[in-house]
A and B are shown apart, each in its own frame.
Chain A
Amino acid sequence: DIQMTQSPASLSASLGETVTIQCQASEDIYSGLAWYQQKPGKSPQLLIYGASSLQDGVPSRFSGSGSGTQYSLKISSMQTEDEGVYFCQQGLKYPFTFGSGTKLEIK
């Protein structure tokens, strides 16, 4: 199985700050990576797919980058509504696997 290592486990950011979350795959996943945001008591929501494609309706302050085994999610200007837990997921091969999550809070 492909292991997804996500960091940091948690972080706090001020309004307007730029935030970056990292995800490392145990093997090359050829940009087969997605990022999700989950708020308490809610289902995850897809933010980014294909490592860098923005899902419809997602604010442009979210962006994804990376290749091979290293990927990152950037929030260019932290907003209150961006609080939540973020997960990466590889969609290259079964079984799909998720990172352990990053809890993002407002400082």
Chain B
Amino acid sequence: QVQLQQSGAELTKPGSSVKISCKASGYTFTSYDISWIKQRPGQALEWIGAINPGSGGTGYNEKFKGKATLTVDKSSSTAFMQLSSLTPEDTAVYYCAREDYGYAPDWGQGVMVTVSS
């Protein structure tokens, strides 16, 4: 079955960067885009962007350009998202999801990123 295993929780300081991972299994990694989604506590979901693991091509929500950088390592079927210049407003759970024609049938368990001095 499809699994997306994300890295562990992060506690970071304002101004720093963090890189979280999403290891895919159970399907052909290069056949589906990986989307990243942000959810602040008690809030709605925000789509950050997506990456095509086959080509490395990316699409970003304008709101997150300069904040998030998406990459993949095809050899390990792992997608990464780096978040830079962190502020308390970046405190959130970040999900990766397998995208299938605009929908997300499979999600990672989420990574809690806490930005605090």
A60 to chain B, nearest CB (A): 18
- Looking at chain B's contact residues, the main secondary structure is strand
Task: Tell me which residues from 31 to 55 in chain A have a Cβ below 8 Å from any Cβ of chain B.
Answer: 32, 34, 36, 43-46, 49-50, 55
A98 contacts chain B at the CB level, 8 A cutoff: yes
Contact of A95 (CB < 8 Å), options: B44, B61, B104, B107: B61
Q: How large is the interface on B (under 10, 10 to 19, 20 to 34, 35 or more residues)?
A: 20 to 34
Q: How large is the interface on A (under 10, 10 to 19, 20 to 34, 35 or more residues)?
A: 20 to 34
Q: Mark A50-93, 1 if CB is under 8 A from B, else 0.
A: 10000100000000000000000000000000000001011110
List the 9 closest pairs (A to B, CB-CB), nearest first: A91-B102, A95-B61, A43-B107, A96-B47, A49-B103, A98-B45, A34-B103, A100-B44, A94-B59
Name 28 A/B residue pairs within 8 A (Cβ), A-sorted.
A32-B102, A34-B102, A34-B103, A43-B95, A43-B107, A43-B109, A43-B110, A44-B45, A44-B95, A44-B107, A46-B103, A46-B104, A49-B105, A50-B103, A91-B101, A91-B102, A91-B103, A92-B102, A94-B50, A94-B61, A95-B47, A95-B49, A95-B61, A96-B35, A96-B102, A98-B44, A98-B46, A100-B44
